[in-house]
Amino acid sequence: MSSKNLIILSSPFLFEILKEIEENLNFKIDHYKDQESYLKDFLELKNYLVISDKTNNIKNCKTLSTPNKIDKILEQINIWFLSNKFSNQSHIKIGNYFLNLNSRQIIKDNNKLNLTEKETELILFIVENEFVTLKELQREVWKHTSELETHTVETHIYRLRKKFLEKFKEDEFIKHDKRGYHLN
């Protein structure tokens, strides 16, 4: 069973054509006559694409220009699936926040905070390791040697906490205790 799902809205002819060759495709195909019937089922889908005659403000919804050859349609569908995969991999959920790796923004409740490349690396490193020491951050994120005495990490964390406080009224995003730095 494929993990990719193609949903076709309001186009029974396209559905019938693709359904005939579905065993040769790398995605599952479903057809819905209208948006309301589709909305009941789509919440459980992770990797999906919707093709409709109009976008209707549906996430991952695309329209096809017609008429078109079937090989061009399949090529376009595969490109859209790849694009969705890339987009989905670039968003990381961190508690109540979403980190967009492409735009280097962290988002909460439609508020967006722009991050520097180093701030993004810092957050990602803490997410991947859960608890990290000052020395680990210096060595892995800043590439400093252990004998170098610097307050770079503390300064960056201080500034990042300040940005979170100003944008999100959150002063506990990055915490520190005896185990090291971690995200709240």
Identify the burial level of 131 via C-beta atoms within 10 angstroms of its C-beta, where 0-12 means exposed, 13-18 middle and 19 or more buried.
Answer: middle
pLDDT bin (cut points 50, 70, 90) of residue 1 is very low
Enumerate long-range contacts of 11-19, CB under 8 Å, 24 or more apart. Answer: 11/51, 11/52, 11/53, 14/51, 14/64, 14/73, 17/70
Give kind and range of the element (H or E) at residue 98: strand 97-100
> Above 80 in pLDDT, residue 68?
no
Q: CATH homologous superfamily for 4-89?
A: Response regulator (3.40.50.2300)
As beta bridge partners, residue 113 has 106
Distance CA 91, CA 98 (A): 6
pLDDT bin (cut points 50, 70, 90) of residue 57 is confident
Residues of the chain with CATH 1.10.10.10: 91-183
Amino acid identity of residue 49, one-letter, is: L
Residues of the chain with CATH 3.40.50.2300: 4-89
**Residue 85's pLDDT is what?**
74
Mean pLDDT of the chain: 85
The tens digit of pLDDT for each residue in 136-161 reads: 998 888 888 766 677 889 999 999 99
Domain 91-183 of CATH type 1.10.10.10? yes
